[in-house]
Amino acid sequence: MRKFVRGSATWGVERPQRPSRVDGVTMAGFHVPDLDTLRIVPHPAVTLLLEFGDGSPVLAGASGGQQRGSVVAGPGLGSGGAVRARGENVECVQVRLSPVVARAVLGVSVAELDGAVVSLGDLWGREASRIRERLGDATSWQERFALTDALLARRHEAGPPVDPEVAWAWHRIVGTRGLTRVEGLAAEVGWSRKRLWSRFRSQLGLPPKRAVKLVRFDHAAHLLVAGEGAARVAADTGYSDQSHLHRDVKAFTGATPAAVADEPFLAVDDIAWPGR
């Protein structure tokens, strides 16, 4: 297990030795002795947090609501800087699901999450308790990753796929890092704009325009963490100017680009999600 240190944050981070059997699934393991009010930064993936052990992470929203234990949330979790995480002796497997495969893995459309953090127990019932027990009983992180991957692969195989046209549109947005023109997506798949927008939203949990903004923001935020200046980042990621970047970062995180550049939630990605 590698050690991640950023300011006062010190985490243990582990990576699977093999890629997932499901395209669009990545995961990492975390052991955080003291998780002290971590800002959750929006990401263009569905987040599945599988906790185990003696500790218990807590996700708290701006309204005061809290979720404990294993949870799932749709793309853009933490928009507006509204979600914080905390906990002691936290141990978990964090899974990032492409929205394209999340519908099959979760067993429900991402849109049904309605932007909320949902208890995995409410979604999966006893299966959530069983995977928690099995992760706790495992003797190594690689065994935990194997258990998690087997569960996800089984659920993915049994679940409903998204429309190929919707999957193509998502991959187009991600492949261009949010620089594709959403107006042209429907024409490229041969659908009407209304049909694509409706299917995209119902199957992936967000409309195409929001997906473009989220993917572009994610790319820009990681460049800021890597030490690039805001003006250069704005020019390289398709923003009209530095003020445009500032507004987008503020809308997604509730913080300035300078503050986001120092976020542990993003900085740990170089260890936890290499080649993201």
Looking at the fold, whether 115 and 128 belong to one and the same domain comes out as: yes
**Average confidence (pLDDT) over 151-159:** 96
Looking at the fold, whether 85 and 23 belong to one and the same domain comes out as: yes
Looking at the fold, whether 12 and 123 belong to one and the same domain comes out as: yes
Looking at the fold, whether 49 and 134 belong to one and the same domain comes out as: yes
Q: Is the pLDDT of residue 63 over 70?
A: no
Q: Report the CATH number that the domain containing residue 13 is assigned in CATH.
A: 2.60.120.10
pLDDT in tens, 249-275: 999 999 999 999 999 999 999 999 987
pTM for this prediction:
0.94
| Distance between CA atoms of residues 93 and 226, nearest Å | 25
Q: Is residue 183 part of a domain?
A: yes
Q: What is the mean pLDDT of the chain?
A: 93
Q: How many domains does the chain have?
A: 2
pLDDT in tens, 168-185: 999 999 999 999 988 899
* Residue 67 pLDDT: 86
Looking at the fold, whether 132 and 232 belong to one and the same domain comes out as: no
| Distance between CA atoms of residues 20 and 100, nearest Å | 15
- For 117, the domain range is 2-160
Is 208 in contact with 168 (CB distance < 8 Å)? no
Is 17 in contact with 142 (CB distance < 8 Å)? yes
Q: Is residue 275 part of a domain?
A: no
Give the count of alpha carbons within 13 A of 94, CB side only: 22
Q: Is residue 195 part of a domain?
A: yes
What six digits make up the tokens of 39? Answer: 């800002």
Looking at the fold, whether 73 and 119 belong to one and the same domain comes out as: yes
Looking at the fold, whether 254 and 184 belong to one and the same domain comes out as: yes
Looking at the fold, whether 105 and 174 belong to one and the same domain comes out as: no
Q: Is residue 272 part of a domain?
A: no
Looking at the fold, whether 81 and 39 belong to one and the same domain comes out as: yes
Q: Is the pLDDT of residue 61 over 80?
A: no
Domain boundary among 160, 184, 204: 160
Looking at the fold, whether 45 and 173 belong to one and the same domain comes out as: no
